[in-house]
């Protein structure tokens, strides 16, 4: 138990350090990494019947989308921002539906969308 707490504290400090030293591009990539992890954990929780963990992980994923990815958009700069705004809203709304229905197909669809967009961000050179 003591080792686990130490590992969690180490991971938390590592993440805080990564966030504090990250460029805006790297921050978006970190958000997608967190989103991927939250969706994966939500899937596992649904499969295991762990209602509390499912709710927590879906809430975390929704927060990453709404408070991180959507908040970072600059919709004033054109169509891409507007399209991403609509896509993020769809993903967030879909995760709310997953929470109510345990629909793994819908969760998989959101997971695929997040993977595609996150993959595109990862492929962009940080200085671009």
CATH value at residue 108:
1.20.120.340
Query: Does residue 76 fall inside a structural domain?
Result: yes
The answer to whether 110 and 91 have CB atoms below 8 angstroms apart is yes
Query: Does residue 102 fall inside a structural domain?
Result: yes
Range of the domain at 85: 23-123
Chain segment 89-121, per-residue pLDDT in tens: 999 999 999 999 999 999 999 999 999 999 999
The confidence score (pLDDT) of residue 35 equals 98
Query: Does residue 8 fall inside a structural domain?
Result: no
Q: How many domains does the chain have?
A: 1
> How do the residues of the chain divide into helix, strand and coil, expressed in percent and rounded to 5?
90, 0, 10
Query: Does residue 48 fall inside a structural domain?
Result: yes
Q: Tell me what the mean pLDDT of segment 41-47 comes to.
A: 98
User: What rounded mean pLDDT belongs to the chain?
Assistant: 86
Query: Does residue 95 fall inside a structural domain?
Result: yes
Residue 29 confidence class, pLDDT cut points 50, 70, 90: very high
Query: Does residue 17 fall inside a structural domain?
Result: no
Q: Tell me what the mean pLDDT of segment 66-92 comes to.
A: 89
Answering whether pTM is above 0.85, one says: no
Token pair listed for 37 = 């992890």
- What separation in angstroms does the CA of 92 have from each of 19, 29, 31, 43, 80? 23, 18, 14, 15, 18
């Amino acid at each position: 138990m003591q080792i686990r707490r130490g590992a969690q504290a180490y991971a938390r400090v590592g993440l805080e350090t990564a966030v504090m030293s990250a460029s805006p591009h790297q921050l978006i990539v970190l958000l997608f990494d967190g989103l991927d992890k939250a969706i994966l954990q939500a899937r596992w929780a649904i499969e295991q019947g762990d209602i509390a963990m499912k709710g927590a992980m879906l809430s975390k994923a929704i927060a990453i989308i709404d408070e991180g990815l959507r908040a970072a958009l600059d919709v004033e700069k054109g169509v891409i921002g507007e399209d991403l705004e609509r896509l993020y809203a769809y993903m967030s709304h879909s995760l709310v539906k997953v929470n109510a229905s345990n629909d793994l197909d819908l969760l998989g669809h959101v997971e695929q969308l997040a993977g595609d967009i996150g993959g595109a961000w990862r492929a962009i050179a940080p200085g671009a």
